[in-house]
Structure 1
Amino acid sequence: MAAVPLRALVVEDESALADLVAGYLVKDGYEVEVAHDGEDAVERARTLDPDVVVLDIGLPGIDGIEVCRRLRTFSDCYVVMLTARAEEVDTLVGLSVGADDYMTKPFSPRELVARLRAMMRRPRLDASDAASAEAPTLTVGDLEIDAPAREARLGGELVPLTRTEFDILAVLAEHPARVLTRANLLVEVWGGDWVGDEHLVDVHVRHVRQKLGDSAERQRYVRTVRGVGYRIGTGADT
């Protein structure tokens, strides 16, 4: 039985670039749709239910940041944002609304495809998978991390983590006595063949902390080991 092809939505107002990216994805086996503005992108995403969205930040009408924010109300697809500006604010704002990765123009379509391949190899468990899985719930103070169900609860309340944020938290919790470097986390979460800026890890860790009520000064759940990396906390106030 043939495998169901992955679905991709390319959102880019430059037609030539959109067609170029779409062509590379089609060659890699994706079913691809293209949108050239934000409103159309959101509507197509509702219909297509894509596995991944390649999303330009600088769109006419509603921009890529707002598109990503709306996507996250109904989809947990992977989102790779494209930006023509390398300023950190674009990166941080884009990732803060639930993007998983970003690329700065000009970029290599081959590198984009390679990153997507690494993303698609990450697990995506549905409810039936979760019901049959035997992995235990990981507990850190009043934080519970249910890896099979891909849910985190703090004091019994569901924490709205993106897929990448959950993966980082789960990997840290699986190694409670170990400090994980950025390189360790990139291998565990993004895959060993991922190529990009390793400071992407710091951005996602910052968002995990915010959603858990942590801060740089009050690190109960995700703690920084200066000069080394990150480790899971105990959940106790420090």
Structure 2
Amino acid sequence: MRVLLVEDDEPIAQSLRRGLTRYGFEVEWVTTGRDALAHHEAYDVVLLDLGLPDTDGLDVCKALRERGDVPIIVISARSDETDRVVGLELGADDYVSKPFGVREVIARIRAVMRRMQPRGTEAPAEAGPDRYGPRLTIDRKAARVRVDDEELALAPKEYDLLAFLTQEPGALMSREQIMEAVWDANWFGPTKTLDVHVAALRRKLADVITIEAVRGVGFRLIVNDGDGGKGTS
């Protein structure tokens, strides 16, 4: 899915672009309303900041809506109800207030795209649970983990961490990437909580996976029994 990101705050834009790219989105980033309106390459959804340096984002929203029906999600530090209402009346499909997490934005994008799907169009078949090696199964739709067909009790963040690390078994994930994905881009607490959750997963899945620590960088998940590949059950 192609995303046009209109955001002049570089740290926010870079963090959002990294997160979206990691989840399979293609992101084109511009920093002004003028560049947004001059961008003529095809895209599937617009993420539009209201506080742009050259023009009011609401004017850009209106101009984009007059051009077509591409979904527009406003992202802004403006939390006033009036701005929300005006944005939606001008054609925005959703509104996300800063600070926000990457996963929240992705959820909003997916929700908007589902609403945009024409009535009567069949949705693609849901993917089944993902299997990692002969013993571990993760059902991302139901947020359930099974080992040897027995459901494993995990705390919410333990599940989120496992689900993220198993997206690419064997890949080295930096602490920053993990914190951003599992605890959101706006997490400002200590990263010691990551070590606590890694230790919990190691304890609960000791014979099923190995989570290697790479000093000064991050962690790498390895599926045990010589099968690091991912398939479906």
* TM-score, normalised by the number of residues in structure 1: 0.48
Instruction: Tell me the TM-score normalised to structure 2 length.
Output: 0.49
Which protein is bigger by CA-based radius of gyration?
Answer: 2
